[in-house]
Amino acid sequence: MTLAEQWVAFYTIVRKEIRRFLRIWMQTLLPPAITMSLYFVIFGALIGSRIGQMGGFTYMEFVVPGLIMMSVITNAYSNVVSSFFGAKFQRFVEEILVSPMSNNTVLWGFVIGGVARGLLVGLIVTLLSLFFTSLHIQHVGVTIAIVLMTSIMFSLAGFINAVFANNFDDVSIVPVFVLTPLTYLGGVFYSIDLLPDFWAGVSRLNPMLYIVNAFRYGVLGVSDVNVTTAFLMVGGFTIAAYAYCMYLLSSGTRLRQ
């Protein structure tokens, strides 16, 4: 296929992916908007006023970046895992598998679909947060870069999950049992400076800590960890996940009998 044809194929997948999550907005866009508004009300406004300052900011200011990032991560991941698994489950992934488009086109089509939902939900949550606090983004480049890289990374991870999933339980296991707890423990709600040394050390093994803090650095200008390290880590994971996805597609693992 020519480059122009690959582009048409890529655009076809992206368009279809975006239309899918917009069509089922009650399942995709509404829940994070409600959940995050509740977080803002409870942690930010009600409890937050009693907590006082955290890292030199009001508690509300402190939690907002982490909550935005959490929404981006779970939504990018969930979009790709449920869409691609659905295609496998109903077998219409075969429409793609019999076509001449390249594996890169297939993969990036789904990944950009996931990125689109991650970013849209991130934007919705950001707008909602403005009812509770004001945001003055300190480092625009860092903010945009970390959101993009993270949403790509978790879209790729969602793709891997979809390839191996055998049923709808396998689709929700990772978001519920891995992503959410790791994000909660990854410094969304507290600075790890507050933890005893041992638990602060353990926290440093959690990749979410780096992502949440890099984003918080972009927005607030403060971070518990080295931001360069965070970028290197996200970049490393993204490249590894991409390579693995390409391997899965070219070997036909779980896709071709």
DSSP H helices, 90-164, are: 93-97, 103-129, 140-164
With beta carbons less than 8 A apart as the criterion, state whether 105 and 9 touch: yes
The residue type of 106 is: V
Segment interacting with another protein, rule: CB under 8 A, options 52-60, 84-92, 140-148, 198-206: 84-92
Which residue of 26, 50, 52, 98 would you call a contact of another protein, by CB under 8 A?
Answer: 98
Which residue of 26, 95, 134, 228 would you call a contact of another protein, by CB under 8 A?
Answer: 95
Rounded to whole angstroms, the Cα distance separating 87 from 176 reads 22
The residue type of 213 is: N
Residues within window 7-36 making contact with another protein, judged by CB under 8 A: 8-9, 11-13, 16, 23
Task: Please classify residue 213 by burial: count the beta carbons closer than 10 Å to its beta carbon, then call 0-12 exposed, 13-18 middle and 19+ buried.
Answer: buried
Which residue of 49, 99, 166, 240 would you call a contact of another protein, by CB under 8 A?
Answer: 99
For another protein, which is the closer residue by CB, 97 or 222? 97
Segment interacting with another protein, rule: CB under 8 A, options 74-82, 87-95, 151-159, 224-232: 87-95
What tokens does 52 get? Answer: 């006082």
Rounded to whole angstroms, the Cα distance separating 66 from 220 reads 11
Listed in order, strand segments (DSSP E) in the chain are: 53-54, 57-58
Rounded to whole angstroms, the Cα distance separating 167 from 101 reads 27
With beta carbons less than 8 A apart as the criterion, state whether 137 and 218 touch: yes
Which residue of 27, 34, 94, 181 would you call a contact of another protein, by CB under 8 A?
Answer: 94
By the rule CB under 8 A, 197 interacts with another protein: no
By the rule CB under 8 A, 87 interacts with another protein: yes
By the rule CB under 8 A, 254 interacts with another protein: no
Segment interacting with another protein, rule: CB under 8 A, options 29-37, 90-98, 174-182, 234-242: 90-98
For another protein, which is the closer residue by CB, 51 or 255? 255
Cα distances from 174 to residues 162, 181, 182, in angstroms, run: 11, 10, 11
Torsional sign, CA 35, 177, 25, 68: positive
By the rule CB under 8 A, 1 interacts with another protein: yes
Residues within window 234-253 making contact with another protein, judged by CB under 8 A: 252
Which residue of 29, 33, 97, 160 would you call a contact of another protein, by CB under 8 A?
Answer: 97
Rounded to whole angstroms, the Cα distance separating 196 from 198 reads 6
Tell me the per-residue interface mask from 33 to 72 with another protein, x by CB under 8 A, - otherwise.
----------------------------------------
By the rule CB under 8 A, 232 interacts with another protein: no
Q: Which residues bind another protein (CB under 8 A)?
A: 1-2, 4-6, 8-9, 11-13, 16, 23, 86-87, 90-92, 94-102, 252, 256-257
